A and B are shown apart, each in its own frame.
Chain A
Amino acid sequence: MYVIESEDLWKTYDGRRWALSGVDLRVREGEVLALLGRNGAGKTTFIRIACSLLKPTRGSVRVLGMDVTQESSRVRERIALVPQEGRPSNLNTPWSHVYYYLIARGLPRSEARVRARRYLQSLELWDVRDVICGNLSGGMRQRVLVAMALATEADVLFLDEPTIGLDPLSKQTVWEQIRDSAAEGRTVVVTTHNMEEAETIADRVAIIDEGRIVASGTPEEVKARVGYEYRVDLRGDGIEASELSSYGLVRRIGDRYRVYLSDSTARELLDLAIARGWTASLSRTTLEDAFVLLVGEVEEHAG
């Protein structure tokens, strides 16, 4: 059974350009889906429609079996959101944000107190719980919003770029908490353009570009979609892109050449590099490579 199901979802804000063009997306219970895309790809638009905060132009989204447009008030009780670029109020403390938000969500005071404590602790905000947010670092403020949303323990969590601006350690803290929420059976959709984030926390990823889903599946499946297992980075004198292109797909990155290729040709290219005295390094293709290739290809077609 799918917890989130979008079918042929279209959205335009101005009647001229499509922010979403026919998005089909399904998320299973207890799964973390990372929605990957460049700025303006349509991630926030999708999230806001799924949260019933925005009306689709065409198509529909069902969350927990309910149509978000028709049954918005019932859906809203069972989901939570970290809005993109949100901020807690400078005049309130982390404690009051989380505690009163839980009260607003309908929790009894005693339960709200227990939960506020638990989530402030797990997001490493407990020591600053009584400091007004105006005096906290940007990363701490962002974690306050994450704590508010996670503490609801809603069945479905939508996190719109929740780790933007966080330092590496804070990021890991948030990632852990997201994984824990999923382990307890909650379904999570997280948008990001951070590939490490996607590979670390997501069971499945969906790559969205110009309002279309261009690939989705497990990170492994998405990587397999591009058809290259390895990439070789080359640097040295006298490298010709035309020569390399017989080995695989060539991209120029600064002063390097990157060649995407398969297992057998990788060996041949490395032999060539040794013969020519180039510097070469071999790695497996990453999700980031898949992203660049998939999104780049779409643009070439559109181009």
Chain B
Amino acid sequence: MRVRGALSGFLRSLYASTMLFGVLPFKQNPFWALSPALAPFAFLLFLSIYRFQQVVPFALIGGLISIVVANSISMESDAAFNRIVLRLDSMFALTKGGLIPYAIGLALGNLINAVPGVAVFAVLLWTMAGITSPQAWATMLGALTLIWAVVSLLGYLISTYARDIRDLWVYSPLMTALLGYLPPVYYPLELLPDPFLRAIAFISPTTSAARLMHSAAGLVKLGPGEFAVLWAIPAAHAVVFAALLYRRVRRPI
């Protein structure tokens, strides 16, 4: 009974936070959500105009990843804004589940913003690159979901260090570039010239996720056992970020 009560309290709080910080603002202006899709779309346009057909699938997968990264790292500015400017986080701290369902609600809200861009790129991936197998799509969605979870956790973690409103919008573009564009998401890992760089690339959780998606689209061949390792790496990122975050917020100052 206590467990059920706690669970329903958690879900209510999660639902409220998702509505308030995701669904309702999204309804106010759904077109805002398309802006993170613009840069990847321009990329795609160039490649198509120059008839670089063989790299278009990379541009599409890279685009999906960039869009999810941009919409997930915005957790950083959202959480910091709610804490520093609105101070609504102190009100949400005084709810049944505390700040955890509130934060997951923020992340779900961001996921809603990613949907339009992801939908456009997914349709293009289906039609232009001919990716239709359910298995391939299961891997794509799984990898994108993992990116969302890991990057949202990272965003919330970074937000806890923001002290002033001016800290707010600095990190998101930087992190979007570092996680969504620079690592091998628009090109295969193999193209990185030296083994050291290839190892470094795995610091970014998007490298593993992109490789899973590249292989699901038949663009690269994975070595034996690599599939499991590629899932494990971003999962490990998630665990580390969650642990760091827990340490940051466990005790108020």
Contact = CB atoms under 8 A, between A and B. Distances in A.
11 contacts: A51-B94, A55-B252, A76-B93, A83-B90, A87-B86, A91-B24, A91-B28, A96-B20, A103-B13, A104-B96, A106-B95
Given A89-B25, A104-B16, A132-B28, A81 B88 contact: no
Contacts of B72: none
Interface string B49-87: 000000000000000000000000000000000100111
A78 to B, nearest CB: 9
Contact of B20 (A97, A106, A149): A97
A97 B85 CA distance: 16
B53 to A, nearest CB: 42
The 5 closest A-B pairs by CB, nearest first: A104-B16, A86-B87, A91-B25, A83-B87, A100-B16
Contacts, number: 92
A81 B87 CA distance: 11
Interface in A103-123: 103-106
Nearest to B82: A89
A241 B221 CA distance: 94
Contacts of B241: none
A13 B253 contact: yes
Contacts of B25: 89, 91-92
A6 B216 CA distance: 61
Interface in B90-146: 90-96, 98, 101-102
A159 to B, nearest CB: 12
B87 to A, nearest CB: 4
A88 B12 CA distance: 20
A149 B9 CA distance: 18
B253 A54 contact: yes
Interface of A: 13, 48, 51-55, 73, 76-77, 79-81, 83-89, 91-92, 96-97, 100-101, 103-106, 132, 145, 148-149
B34 interface: no
B17 to A, nearest CB: 7
A79 B15 contact: no
Contact of B12 (A55, A83, A97, A103): A103
Given A97-B20, A100-B20, A103-B15, 10 more contacts: A52-B252, A55-B251, A86-B86, A89-B20, A91-B25, A100-B17, A100-B19, A101-B20, A106-B8, A145-B91
B163 to A, nearest CB: 13
Contact of A77 (B8, B12, B17, B96): B96
B148 interface: no
A18 to B, nearest CB: 15
Contacts of B98: 73, 76
A101 B91 contact: yes
Interface in B1-31: 8-9, 12-13, 15-17, 19-21, 24-25, 28
Contact of B253 (A55, A88, A91, A105): A55
Contact of B9 (A79, A80, A106, A132): A106
A145 to B, nearest CB: 8
B84 to A, nearest CB: 10
Nearest to B25: A91
B20 A92 contact: yes
A84 B85 CA distance: 11
Nearest to A97: B20
B87 A85 contact: yes
Given A89-B20, A92-B20, A92-B24, A53 B252 contact: yes
B196 to A, nearest CB: 43
Contact of B21 (A83, A89, A106): A89
B69 to A, nearest CB: 23
A148 B92 CA distance: 11
B211 to A, nearest CB: 37
A293 B15 CA distance: 51
A180 to B, nearest CB: 21
A97 B82 CA distance: 13
Nearest to A145: B91
B213 to A, nearest CB: 33
Q: Which of B21, B95, B98 has the most CB of A within 10 A?
A: B95
Nearest to B105: A104
A185 B58 CA distance: 65
B19 A96 contact: yes
